[in-house]
Homo-oligomer: A and B are copies of this chain.
């Protein structure tokens, strides 16, 4: 696999773009092929079997694009499918959960870490497992926040209704006196200011997207896969694929990426 080949990044939809954005920032000379499974979004309420099957189809598709490594930029898919995918495929695959868990374990002083995410991510218990592998005596308190994703997708990033919903979801975590909170869903960094305001400034927010980009950089260097050549403009370096109509995806992408996406291609993911 050549150093100039792209990184494959996938998510159930648009959320993983916050991970792609961090990779673009931190490793600007890597090409990216992004796949958003917009026909089957959301993954958060689906079962392990279903999410694993979807992940397998997507990695098969990304391999047709000659990717040199894969980032599962979706917490639910990372929680449910990472292990199986690493066994089934012969290329570096990283998820967002482990890097986020590691940072949370390093950050907490009082050993009380909060975790917010989809039902699937919380139920899986995978964050807690990884956190305890780094620091066994940490207590992890999880809370599913199913309305955060639709609120983000409605563009209600700064909104009184979002504030109230955050109050309600986060009240229990505040009472438990956590000092670190993992934003365990790729949509949530877009609610960062609301979450920080609700929790208070003394709580450290962990953004797994940020930690994942660092981890990816390390893996590429370790495996001698980092691109060392000169690079072009964003329009030629980044390719975007979706499994359903691209209009809404493009609008969302253009709201959070530092450049405008011009082309997004729709593919039939069930064929893979």
Contact = CB atoms under 8 A, between A and B. Distances in A.
* Copies in the assembly, this chain: 2
A90 interface: no
Nearest to A270: B270
B146 A150 contact: yes
Interface residues of A, number: 26
Interface string A24-48: 0000000000000011110001110
A245 B243 CA distance: 22
A10 to B, nearest CB: 17
A165 interface: yes
Nearest to A156: B147
Given A47-B245, A50-B244, A151 B161 contact: no
Contacts of A161: 161, 164-165, 168
A40 B38 CA distance: 10
A32 B154 CA distance: 36
Nearest to A13: B45
Residue in A41, A150, A243 whose Cβ sees the most chain B Cβ within 10 Å: A150
Interface in A140-191: 146-147, 149-151, 153-154, 160-161, 164-165, 168
A243 B40 CA distance: 12
A248 B46 CA distance: 10
Contact of A47 (B46, B146, B244): B244
A14 to B, nearest CB: 11
B244 A46 contact: yes
Interface string A234-252: 0000000001110010000
Given A46-B245, A161-B161, 16 more contacts: A38-B45, A38-B46, A39-B46, A39-B50, A40-B40, A45-B248, A47-B244, A49-B245, A50-B245, A146-B150, A147-B151, A150-B150, A160-B164, A161-B165, A161-B168, A270-B270
10 contacts: A38-B45, A46-B245, A49-B245, A50-B243, A50-B244, A50-B245, A160-B164, A161-B164, A161-B168, A164-B164
